[in-house]
């Protein structure tokens, strides 16, 4: 059984093509700007059988075309890696493309098994600087780099994702170091710049939690363009998501 928070059956921004996005429950990061704070607790969500999700994917397979498929996002999917491995294995048996959206904080045998059935990893890099990463997420970025290295060694197709928060993660030197660090990773097909948005803010009010980035505005077009121009030379493809 998987703890599922919700579904988005017409995902167009979480991996290639049209995708069924399964948001699972639970995450050990505590990102200041988390847009899905309701997915953080490992206790919530709805216990859902693998079979139910596979059936949903099979029903919607006709929409996936040649590129699309299923993306598991969250929350942090790798916290439920053993169950997810079963899901992805079943999806692969149905000929359905799989995508894993992760912060790369967890690596163990179960995660390694999960990656065997994963077509594309969407790896979220929160920040290059360890201290800044800890400030944003509450945790070190050491594991994420190890995770990235594992993907590189096993040549697993990867899209890097980077949330661009004004004043928090858009420093020019951080972006340059992101590019420098990953520029030789052949398995990285694209980098996605995720603009910061406040669409999750209302959830904090509902949950009676303080929103930490109260005064941070959304990115301006200029900020996005600047980040794009810095990162573009380093990667095969850069997309502002």
Cis preceding linkage at 82, omega within 30? no
Question: Shortest gap between Cβ of 224 and other proteins (angstroms)?
Answer: 12
Distance CA 118, CA 204 (A): 32
- Go through the chain and tell me how many residues it has: 241
Q: Which of residues 30-69 bind other proteins (CB under 8 A)?
A: 35-36, 56, 59-60, 62-65, 67-68
Start-to-end Cα distance in the chain:
31
Binding-site size for other proteins (CB under 8 A) equals 28
Both tokens assigned to 140: 């070190």
Residue 6 binding other proteins, by CB under 8 A: yes
Stretch that binds other proteins, among 4-12, 113-121, 147-155, 182-190 (CB under 8 A): 4-12
Q: How far does CA 37 lie from the centroid of its chain?
A: 14
Both tokens assigned to 114: 């999960």
Q: For other proteins, give the closer residue by CB, 65 or 233.
A: 65
Q: DSSP for 94-121, please give it.
A: TT-EEEEEE-S---SHHHHHHHHT-SEE
Question: Shortest gap between Cβ of 107 and other proteins (angstroms)?
Answer: 28
Stretch that binds other proteins, among 13-21, 143-151, 176-184, 229-237 (CB under 8 A): 13-21
Q: Which of residues 170-209 bind other proteins (CB under 8 A)?
A: 197, 199-200
Helix (H) / strand (E) containing 73: strand 69-73
Question: Shortest gap between Cβ of 200 and other proteins (angstroms)?
Answer: 7
Q: For other proteins, give the closer residue by CB, 134 or 203.
A: 203
Do 153 and 200 meet the contact criterion of CB atoms below 8 Å apart? Answer: no
Stretch that binds other proteins, among 1-9, 77-85, 119-127, 142-150 (CB under 8 A): 1-9
Cα–Cα separations (whole angstroms), residue 50 to 23, 80, 89, 92, 176: 14, 12, 10, 13, 41
Among 2, 20, 91, 188, binds other proteins (CB under 8 A): 20
Binding stretches for other proteins (CB under 8 A): 6-13, 17-18, 20, 35-36, 56, 59-60, 62-65, 67-68, 197, 199-200, 239-241
């Amino acid at each position: 059984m998987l703890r599922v928070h919700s579904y988005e059956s017409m995902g167009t921004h979480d991996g290639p093509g049209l995708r069924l996005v399964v948001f699972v429950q639970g995450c050990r990061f505590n990102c200041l700007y988390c847009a899905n704070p309701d997915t953080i607790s490992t206790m919530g969500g709805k216990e859902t059988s693998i079979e139910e999700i596979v059936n949903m994917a099979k029903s919607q397979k006709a929409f996936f075309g040649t590129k699309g498929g299923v993306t598991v996002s969250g929350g942090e999917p790798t916290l439920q890696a053993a169950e997810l491995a079963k899901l992805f294995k079943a999806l692969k048996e149905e000929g359905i493309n799989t995508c894993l959206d992760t912060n790369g904080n967890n690596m163990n045998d179960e995660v390694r098994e999960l990656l065997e059935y994963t077509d594309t990893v969407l790896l979220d890099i929160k920040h290059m600087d360890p201290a800044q990463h800890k400030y944003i997420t509450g945790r070190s970025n050491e594991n994420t780099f190890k995770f990235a290295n594992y993907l590189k060694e096993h040549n697993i197709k990867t899209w890097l994702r980077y949330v661009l928060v004004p004043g928090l993660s858009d420093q020019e030197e951080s972006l340059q170091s992101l590019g420098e660090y990953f520029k030789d990773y052949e398995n990285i097909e694209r980098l996605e710049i995720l603009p910061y948005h406040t669409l999750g803010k209302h959830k904090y009010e509902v949950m009676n939690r303080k929103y930490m980035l109260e005064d941070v505005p959304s990115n301006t077009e200029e900020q996005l363009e600047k980040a794009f121009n810095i990162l573009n030379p380093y990667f095969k493809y850069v997309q502002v998501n």
